[in-house]
Structure 1
Amino acid sequence: MHAMWRGSVSFGLVNIPVRLYKATDTGGIHFRQLHKACRTPISYKKFCPRCHVDLSQDEIVRGFEYARGEFAVVEDEELDAFQGRRGETIDLVQFADAGDIDPVLFQGAYYLAPEASGKKAYRLLWQALRASGRVGVARMTLRSAESLALVRASDADGNVLEVHALAWPEDVRSTAELPYVQEAVAVDAHELEVAETLIRQLTKPFVPDEYRDESRVRLEAWIAERRGEAEAKTKGAEASGEVVDLMEALKKSLELAKQDAKPREAKRKKRKTS
């Protein structure tokens, strides 16, 4: 992995030198835009519409619009001086229960790894968070933008500290303008009972490895077919019939859940008697 940031985690009077790594990689298949006539990838140029010239990177500066059409230029050195130490530090400012943080705030996910000199302090923080069942709330700066962050101890793939960037509360859009969600709708008691039963039937421990990107698999197979590297393979049959109403859909879902649960129950009984 390539570290995207080096700095430290500030934990009270403890300073832990760390490196930050992106936790997810979208990967997959990416389409490129081509010139239809010759199938050459098109290029994007940085262009000044006023001067009518293409720009090189050293001709581009950062700025903000303080009035319509009026910009103030901010040099990199000025921004670094303004951010100061915070630009290199994840400052843990409090601890909280993870359930207190609305998932709508979650943005990017990252891994923290210690520098050689910070291994012991890193492990101390991980164990303290793990034992307390708490998460750390921090301020951090990435790509010149300050944000809130959640720091938590994970043992899903090693004893790692994870960082989740959080949106600022004022940046979360209001739900007031969403259609229909504010309307009072009567829910049938029997429908609710069936829905709750369905939820119980489908409840089991969440294991991420049980899921895969089926859309990517189908797309890769289709591309392989287009390239002549594989035969087209079709799986399954199209479902027939229409769902009559909400209750009918719930009942059908419940029946499918029961059928799916029978093989798992049989396997558990078989293991107990062996």
Structure 2
Amino acid sequence: MHAMWRGSVSFGLVNIPVRLYKATETGGIHFRQLHRDCRTPITYKKFCPRCQVEVGQDEIVRGFEYAKGEFVVVEDEELTAFQGRRAETIDLVQFADAGEIDPVMFQSAYYLAPEAGGKKAYRLLWKALQASGRVGVARMTLRNAESLALVRASDAGGEVLVVHALAWPEDVRSTGELPYVREAVDIDANELEVAETLIRQLTKPFVPNDYRDESRVRLEAWIAERRGEGGTEKPGVQATGEVVDLMEALKKSVQLAKQAETSQPRKRRQRKTS
């Protein structure tokens, strides 16, 4: 796993040297664009329309457009110098209950791992967060952009500190323009009771490994068929229908949930052997 950032976590007067790793990766099937005639992958060139030349990476600079066609040029070194210490530090500025942070603010997730000299301080922070049930709110600079971040203790696969980049409050879109969400709707008490029954029926501990990307599996199988002779079958598309009777649909959903529960084979308990 490649570390994408090295710096420190500032915890009061304690600085914990750490490395930052991306916690997730983009899976699924990726398609490339080809020239239909010869099936050669299409390439993209960075081109200056004014000079009519292809531009190399060393000829490109950052620019902020403050007016139409007017830019302020910012060199990478200038931006790093301006950001100063924040460019390499995750500053914990407060602690809070995780439930106080709206999940809509959550963006990318990262793992933190300590450097050799920061193992004890890293473990101390992890244990303190775990015992308190709190999360840390921090300021973090990544790829020359400062963001809010949440730091939490995770015990999935080890005692690991996880960082979630958060959107700034001003970047979260308002729900004011969403249609119908503020209209009053009469909910029948019986419908609500059946809906709550369905929720209870489908409630169980969340185990991530119980889920897989079924669409990816089907697509891989379809592509494998296409590579063989006569493989021209299209991927299956599930039909959808309009729900006419809400109560009837809820009752059938509860019935199906019960049938699914009773049809699942129960796991036998393994006897312990000494």
- Relative to the length of structure 1, the TM-score reads 0.92
Once the two structures are TM-superposed, the CA of residue 28 in structure 1 deviates from its matched residue by: 2.2
CA contact 1:135–1:153 (8 Å) conserved in 2:
yes
CA contact 2:226–2:232 (8 Å) conserved in 1:
no
Once the two structures are TM-superposed, the CA of residue 233 in structure 1 deviates from its matched residue by: 10
- Distance in 2, matches of 1:195 and 1:186, equals 15
Answering whether residue 252 of structure 2 is matched by residue 249 of structure 1, we say no
CA contact 1:130–1:153 (8 Å) conserved in 2:
yes
* SS of equivalent residue, structure 1 residue 111: strand
Counterpart residue number, 2:82: 82
Give a deviation string over 1:157-202, Cα, whole Å, max 9, x none. Answer: 1110000000000000011101111111111111111000000000
Unpaired runs of at least 5, structure 2 = 270-274
* SS of equivalent residue, structure 1 residue 92: strand
Counterpart residue number, 1:68: 68
Counterpart residue number, 1:167: 167
Counterpart residue number, 2:39: 39
Q: How many residues align?
A: 270
- Distance in 2, matches of 1:165 and 1:40, equals 38
Counterpart residue number, 1:15: 15
- Distance in 1, matches of 2:62 and 2:114, equals 32
1:135-214 matches, cutoff 5 A: 135-214=135-214
CA contact 1:221–1:232 (8 Å) conserved in 2:
no
- Distance in 1, matches of 2:141 and 2:105, equals 16
- Distance in 2, matches of 1:88 and 1:255, equals 55
- Distance in 2, matches of 1:13 and 1:208, equals 37
- Distance in 2, matches of 1:16 and 1:226, equals 52
- Distance in 1, matches of 2:134 and 2:217, equals 38
* SS of equivalent residue, structure 2 residue 176: coil
- Distance in 1, matches of 2:243 and 2:196, equals 19
* SS of equivalent residue, structure 1 residue 83: helix
Once the two structures are TM-superposed, the CA of residue 244 in structure 1 deviates from its matched residue by: 3.5
Counterpart residue number, 2:266: 267
How many percent of aligned residue pairs carry the same amino acid? 82
- Distance in 2, matches of 1:231 and 1:37, equals 21
Give a deviation string over 1:239-258, Cα, whole Å, max 9, x none. Answer: 89874321111111100111
Relative to 1, partners in 2 of residues 1:36 and 1:135: Cα closer, same or farther, differing over 3 Å?
Answer: same
220-229 or 134-143: bigger deviation: 220-229
* SS of equivalent residue, structure 2 residue 174: coil
14-23 or 242-251: bigger deviation: 242-251
Letter in 1 for 2:197: T
- Distance in 1, matches of 2:13 and 2:108, equals 27
Letter in 1 for 2:102: D
- Distance in 2, matches of 1:145 and 1:221, equals 41
Once the two structures are TM-superposed, the CA of residue 232 in structure 1 deviates from its matched residue by: 9.6
Letter in 1 for 2:91: D
Relative to 1, partners in 2 of residues 1:205 and 1:229: Cα closer, same or farther, differing over 3 Å?
Answer: farther
Relative to 1, partners in 2 of residues 1:59 and 1:241: Cα closer, same or farther, differing over 3 Å?
Answer: closer
Letter in 1 for 2:226: R
* SS of equivalent residue, structure 2 residue 266: helix
CA contact 1:224–1:230 (8 Å) conserved in 2:
no
Letter in 1 for 2:123: R
- Distance in 2, matches of 1:68 and 1:82, equals 25
Give every structure 1 segment of 4 or more consecutive aligned residues whose post-TM-superposition deviation is greater than 4 Å.
Answer: 229-234, 236-243
Unpaired runs of at least 5, structure 1 = none
- Distance in 2, matches of 1:230 and 1:114, equals 54
Answering whether residue 118 of structure 2 is matched by residue 118 of structure 1, we say yes
